[in-house]
Structure 1
C-alpha cells in the first residue's frame, strides 16, 4: 500500500468515526425526545432539591446537588449518585430522589462535559471521580455509598478504585466493566480516539457554547416533558464523541475482583445498549455482589420507572444494610 493510499484510508477512517459518533448523538437525541414525549403519562415532576456551584480550586466550578440529611437523622447514609451518558444528575435521578432522600443524604453533580459540569480541555473519567471526592471534602463528608447508572456505573467503579477509603459500598445499575464488547468495538474506539485528537478543540468549543447559554440556576420544576427536554438539551451532542472515546478505554476487569465493599448490581434484562450478559459478567467478577433484575431496557431509569424503581431501591437498601 502506497503512502498516499494509506493517508487517504486514514482520512476516511477519521471521517467515518466522526460521522458515526455524530449520528449516534443525533439518534440519542431523537430517541430521548420521543421518550420524553411519552412521559406525559408520568406523575408531576417531584420537588427536586436545588443545586449550587462549588468551586474546586484549580479545576473549575462543579454544579452540585446536596439534599442534606433527612430531618432528625444527621448520621444518615450518604449516597453519591453518578449519572449516565448524555444526561445530567437531575435527569438520571429525578424519578428516585424523593424515595432516596427520605432515608439518605443525596449528593450528585453534573459530570464534566455534561449539563452544567466543568468544561475541561478534555474529558477524563479520572477527573470526574476526583471532582466528586473534592466535592465531598467541601461538604465535610468522609464516606459514601457510590451509586452509578450506565456511564455512572463506570464512574462508581473507578471511584472505589481511586478513593477506596471513602467508599462504603457500591450500587451499579445498567452498566459494565468494559465498553469494548466485540471486534467491532475494538476497531471503532481506536479510530474514534484518533478523530477526537484531531477535532477535540472544536468539540470543546461547541460544548462550552451550550454550557455558557444555560441559566445560572437550573430550573427544577414545571411540566414534566418540557422540563425533561430542556434538561436533556443542556448537554451538547458535540460532547458525545469525546466522552464515548474515553469510555471506550475503560476496563475495570483486571481489578474487579479486588472490590471489598458490599455491592449490588441492578441488571436491565432487555438492555440493547449494554448487553445483559456483560452486566452479569461484571456482577460475577465482584466478590459477594448481589444481582437485582429489572425487566426493562437501558433507559428504564426514566421510561420504565414504575418497574425499575422498586428493584433499584431494594438494591440500595440491601447495600445500606450490609454496610451496617
Structure 2
C-alpha cells in the first residue's frame, strides 16, 4: 500500500470536505438535519457517542452501523440513517480512538468488536444486523467472530477480509509497525488529550459543511498510523467462510482505497452472500449517494429479511 493510497483509505471525506469548503467539488447530499446522539457509558470500558433512531415500531429489526477510519459514526452514515430508520431501529457510535469514542491505551479490532457488543448491551438489544463500511467492515467481521450470538446478519461495504496482500503492502506495514514502536509511543496520550478538548456532544449546526468539518476534526490525526498498522494485521480469511448468518456485500467498482478485486475476493468467501456492486469509488456512500444508496438499501433489505426468517 502506497502513501497515496493511505490518504485514500484514511481521508476520503477529508479531501472532499476541504474541496467543498473552498467552493469546489460535488455538493454534500441534501439529507436534512443530522440525527442527534447522546453519550453512553459502557461499563468497564468507557464512554462513547451513540446515535439511536427508534424506527417505525418497537419490534423493528435493529441495524448497527460501524464507521470507517478517521471518521465518526454520524459522519460516515449521516446520508442514509434517516432513510434506514423508516424500516429499522438504527444505531451507530464512535469507535474507540475516533471522535468521541473510547481513548484507550491501545487500538485493537478485538476491543472495537467488544465495544460493539457492549453498545448492544447498554441499549438492551440482543441481536442486530451489523453493517460495516471500510474499517467498520473489518470490525464487523471480528464482531461476528467474537460474538456470533449477537449478530443476526452481516453486511459489508467497501471492505476486505485482509488489508495487505502483495509484497509491497507487506513491506509497508512492517515499516509502519516499526515506526509506531520507535517514534509514536505517546500517541495514546495524544488521542486522549484531543478527546478531552472536545465538547461532550457534536456541533449542532444547521450548516452541514460546518458540522462535517467539526466531525472530521474530532478524530486526532495521530490515530492514523496506529489504526492502519492494526488493520494491516487483520486477516479474516481463515474463518470468514464459517459465517452462519445471512450475509451481504456492497462492492464499490472503482475503489482505489480498498481494491475492488480484494472486495470481490471477500464476497467469494461469504457463504451464500447477497452481493451487489455500486459503480463509484470508496466515498460513494456520501459523494455518489444517488447510485450507491439503492444498491446499499437492497442488500440491507435482503439480509434483514433473511435474518428475520431465520429467527422465525
TM-score, normalization by structure 2: 0.91
What SS does the aligned partner of 1:96 have? helix
| Conservation of the 8 A alpha-carbon contact between 2:138 and 2:160 | yes
- Tell me by how many angstroms 1:39 deviates: 6.7
Change (3 A) 1:126 1:44: same
Greater shift, 32-41 or 189-198, is seen at 32-41
1:162 aligns with 2:146: yes
Tell me which residue corresponds to 1:228. Answer: 212
2:102 corresponds to:
118
Deviations 1:8-46 (A, max 9, x none): xxxxxxxxx9xx59x849983862434544577345452
Structure 1 segments unaligned to the other structure (5+ residues): 1-16
Cα distance between partner residues in 1 of 2:193 and 2:246: 41
After TM superposition, the runs of 4+ consecutive aligned structure 1 residues lying more than 6 A away are none
CA distance in 2, matches of 1:44, 1:280: 31
Residue of structure 2 in register with 1:198 after alignment: 182
**Structure 2 match to 1:273:** 257
Q: Of 132, 138, 142, which residue of structure 1 is paired with 2:126? A: 142
Structure 1 partner of 2:53: 67
Residue 257 of structure 1 and its aligned partner are, at CA, apart by 1.2
Map 1:1-324 → 2, pairs under 5 A: 24=7, 28=11, 31-37=15-21, 38=24, 41-70=27-56, 73-324=57-308
User: The residue matched to 2:79 in structure 1 has which SS?
Assistant: coil
Give the direction of change, closer, same or farther, for the CA distance of 1:41–1:32 in structure 2 (3 Å limit): closer
Q: What is the number of residues matched between the two proteins?
A: 304
RMSD: 2.3
Q: Hey, what's the Cα distance between the residues in 1 that align with 2:124 and 2:272?
A: 30
1:219 is paired with a residue whose SS is: coil
Mean alpha-carbon deviation: is it higher for 263-272 or for 206-215? 206-215
Greater Rg over alpha carbons, structure: 1
- Between Structure 1 and Structure 2, the one with more helix by share is 1
Separation in 2 of the partners of 1:94 and 1:149? Answer: 13
2:33–2:206 CA contact under 8 A, matched in 1: no
TM-score (norm 1): 0.88
Task: Rate the CA distance shift 1:258–1:68 in 2: closer, same or farther, 3 A.
Answer: same
Structure 2 gaps of 5+ residues are none
